[in-house]
Structure 1
Amino acid sequence: MKANDSIRFLAGASITTGYANGSFKPYDSVTREQFSAFLARGLIPVYKQKTAMPGGYAANMTKQYTFRGSAGETIHTYKYVDKKMVGKNLGFVWESKNVNNGSTDYYSQSENKDALTSGQPYSHSYIDLKYPIKVGQSWPLELNGDHTSTITKMNVTVKTPYKIFTNAVEVSSTRKYKMYYVQGIRNVKTIDPSGKVVSELKSIK
């Protein structure tokens, strides 16, 4: 279908969610109310957040997250970025700013009933979590990749500088890393094969 790419883009940008049965009906007429909702979601993060999947693990687009780790502290903010990447406008993306050296990276995040994914805009995306959440659920870390990730535990207690979580999902990769995910926050802690903390949540504003 010719509309597939456009639907994926709009859904990935949290502009459209489709109908309750999972369809999008691209050949139907758009009502004034629907167009108004699309416009608001395209301009204001708080309206984008209203499209978030209930019970999902994606980060809240209206919050600011600070992480600390081996690379120093980074502040993650969902915002409009007036820059181009590979010749295309970035628009609304997640900005990761290193407090120590001022360097900035950008990434996107998308979630639907099948998975939570993230990656650089207009580039490769990676599967963070495969749904439904259950122990033993496995998936390739990236398309055509050699490494896989597996949900190894649920309702795990994880201590971070921000707080102690008791409902984390543990994901182990064949690279020997362990990641811990919490609903509405995404990854709150990552541990490398030696047991060293790579990144952990410090604050939410």
Structure 2
Amino acid sequence: MMRAAGAWFLATAVAHGLRYAALVWYADRLAPWWLEALTTALVWVTGIVAIAVGIAAAVTATAWLVEMRRRAYAPVRDPRSRAGLWVGALLVVVNFFRLPVYLEELRRASTRAPSRSDLRRWWAAWAVNVLAVTVALWRGSGEGPQAAADTVLLTALAALAAAWAVRETRGVMRSFSDPSPRFTRRFIAAGILEASATRKD
């Protein structure tokens, strides 16, 4: 689902990019009806599907977070309630501040986890996405053809930022299943020392 969300966000960016190119090319003359219809349809279809798939991906990622925290804290219970995790992860604006906390707690409780720099990069990707969406919505409230064209371009950039954020999210999710570098280095070093001691004996 996460991969599908990233693909549809990229498709949305391409569709809006084509729409913006058509608006710029025909800025001083009337565009052909078929081009107007085609680019408009692409924008609407990819946008609606991307939103639907994005919501499904958010639900999937939240379910993953709840399950991974349950496993990390086992055999004791997760100190945070399942309902609280779902609300904090899915509620817009709130999740921007709560998700980093949930992931940092999971990172500390898990034996396999990403580094803090990976989590910071993930958070930065989502921050850029939120900023891009906010600017696009603000520009969309304007009037006139220039405001409409700017909104199309900004939406394309927001979709690209969303695709980047999804990519970083997938990376974080995978890292909780892969051996952490700090543990890997520790085990490799321990293995080398043990092998050396065995050879000496």
TM class by shorter chain equals: under 0.3
| Greater share of strand | 1
TM-score scaled by length of structure 2 = 0.28
Greater RCO structure (CA 8 Å; 6+ sep): 2
TM-score scaled by length of structure 1 = 0.27
